[in-house]
Amino acid sequence: MNRSIDSLLELADDALRTVFARPAATREVPRPVTFDEPLSEAQRREAGALMRVNHVGEVCAQALYTAQAASTRDPALREHFLEASREETDHLAWTRQRLEELGARPSLLNPLWYAGAFGLGLVAGRLGDKLSLGFVAETERQVEAHLDGHLDRLPAPDHASRAIVTQMKLDEARHAAQAWSAGAAELPAPARSMMRLAARVMTTVAHRI
């Protein structure tokens, strides 16, 4: 009983830290080779909106990995999820810092995004380890494509944001490859379509709120 309570408290602590605390990165924020050129007000707002969406994605990543780690009974797989979560914390810290540099704010709906992603992670975890890993692989595949689109949409002078997004894209591709290597199963087409739809809703709303 006490162990269950301790686990719940740990999960609650993870959620509060992700949504409200200032994350600490273990790696230095990626820096561009070229110095930033001055951004117009319109460019600054657009860059801020795009980085807010990326920050929301990292809030969701924390929730997903935490839930999946809590769901699996395989100690090695649990450590796999927790290690990925720790690396995603770098992304959370980088995007938060860049938001501040751009004078933008995180999404006001971050508690809702976290709760929704945590629920999805629990569902994925209950489906078994292979499908849970498949969920990770598909999520990272879609995130990689999403980040690729942001590289095209970021204002040309915003080299700092582009450096962060480029490193995030490399990390997400590696996480997907690791999930496949660990035995991920391909998700059914309807599940992949639903994930794309949910991601589209999230990115559209987070761009503004």
Which residue range(s) make up the domain with 73? 40-206
Classify residue 8: in a domain, yes or no.
no
In a domain, 10, yes or no: no
C-alpha closest to that of 134 among 98, 95, 179, 89: 179
Please list the pLDDT of the chain residue by residue as tens digits (209 residues): 444 555 555 655 566 567 656 777 888 899 887 776 788 999 999 999 999 999 998 898 888 888 888 888 888 888 888 888 888 889 999 999 999 999 999 999 999 888 888 888 888 888 888 888 888 888 888 888 889 989 999 999 999 999 999 999 999 888 888 888 888 888 888 888 888 888 888 888 988 88
The single residue listed with the structure tokens 């996480």 is: 175
Is the Cβ–Cβ distance between 131 and 181 less than 8 Å? no
Whether 16 maps to a domain, the answer reads no
7 lies in some domain: no
pTM of the model: 0.87
Q: What CATH number does residue 160 fall under?
A: 1.20.1260.10
Count up the domains in the chain and report the number.
1
In a domain, 97, yes or no: yes
- Could you tell me if residue 105 is inside a domain? yes
Displacement of CA 29 from its chain's centroid (Å): 16
